[in-house]
Chain A
Amino acid sequence: GALVYQYPRRTICKSGTSMRMECQAVGFQATSVAWYRQSPQKTFELIALSTVNSAIKYEQNFTQEKFPISHPNLSFSSMTVLNAYLEDRGLYLCGAGDWSSQNTLYFGAGTRLSVL
């Protein structure tokens, strides 16, 4: 089956520092990777969508300068939160999909970021 692993599961960083999180797809080719942030109120905000052979598309209020994303192959993606502050706290979810499953996204359990 399609599995997505994210690590670390939890991390704490000091205000103004940066944190890198990783996402690995197992059992399928991740032609698309979407990074979301789940707020404390449990709503999903799309940060950006990366599709192979296309530029990474960031949503409004999210920038490459703040959330640089790498999607170097069909099984891995990473995202860094640069200069993290309190408003960046939350659960960061990676959803990966492939063309054969009509781009259905399968999610990892997320990386929970706390900022001190």
Chain B
Amino acid sequence: GDSVTQTEGLVTVTEGLPVMLNCTYQTAYSDVAFFWYVQYLNEAPKLLLRSSTDNKRTEHQGFHATLHKSSSSFHLQKSSVQLSDSALYYCALRGGSNAKLTFGKGTKLSVKS
């Protein structure tokens, strides 16, 4: 079945510095889409980015990610993090045309001043 692997545990970054949260995957599907969700404490997971196009950069709210099928990766990056970016980040894969998402275990981003 599908699987998603993320940087596990806690990533701590100083405000204003860049961050990259890793996401790699395994899937047998050729028709795939990828998502990053952000979940703040006691809130719903919110869609941050999505992509299904190889080698195309996708951006939203200062975050960006590029799907690289050659390396099976969809890493999330931001050039300058803010304190408000502290949250849980989940990478997810959808294989085929149905709505089922396979999630990674999540990465907790903590931004310190």
User: A residues touching B (Cβ–Cβ < 8 Å)?
Assistant: 4, 32, 34, 36, 41-44, 46, 49, 51, 93, 95, 97, 102-110
How many residue pairs bridge A and B at CB < 8 Å? 54
B42-79 toward A: CB 8 Å interface, digit per residue (1/0)?
Answer: 11111100101000000000000000000000000000
Cβ contact within 8 Å between B44 and A4: yes
- Please pick, from A4, A43, A95, A109, the residue contacting B101 in the complex, using a CB distance under 8 A: A95
Q: How far, in Å, is A44 (CB) from chain B's closest CB?
A: 4
- Chain A hits for B35, CB < 8 A: 104
Question: Which applies to chain A's interface (DSSP): helix, strand, loop or mixed?
Answer: strand
User: B residues touching A (Cβ–Cβ < 8 Å)?
Assistant: 33, 35, 37, 42-47, 50, 52, 88, 90, 94, 97-103, 105-106, 108
- Chain B hits for A51, CB < 8 A: 98-99
Cβ contact within 8 Å between B47 and A34: no
Q: How far is the CA of A106 from the CA of B94 in the complex (A)?
A: 14
Q: How far is the CA of A93 from the CA of B37 in the complex (A)?
A: 13
Cβ contact within 8 Å between B44 and A104: no
Given contacts A4-B44, A34-B100, 5 further A-B contacts (CB under 8 A): A34-B99, A43-B105, A44-B106, A97-B99, A107-B44
**What are 8 A-B residue pairs whose CB atoms fall within 8 Å in the complex?**
A44-B90, A44-B106, A93-B44, A104-B47, A107-B44, A107-B46, A109-B44, A110-B44
Q: How far is the CA of A43 from the CA of B4 in the complex (A)?
A: 12
Assuming the A-B contacts A42-B106, A102-B33, are A109 and B43 also in contact, with contact meaning beta carbons closer than 8 angstroms in the complex?
A: yes
Cβ contact within 8 Å between B98 and A32: yes
- Chain A hits for B88, CB < 8 A: 42
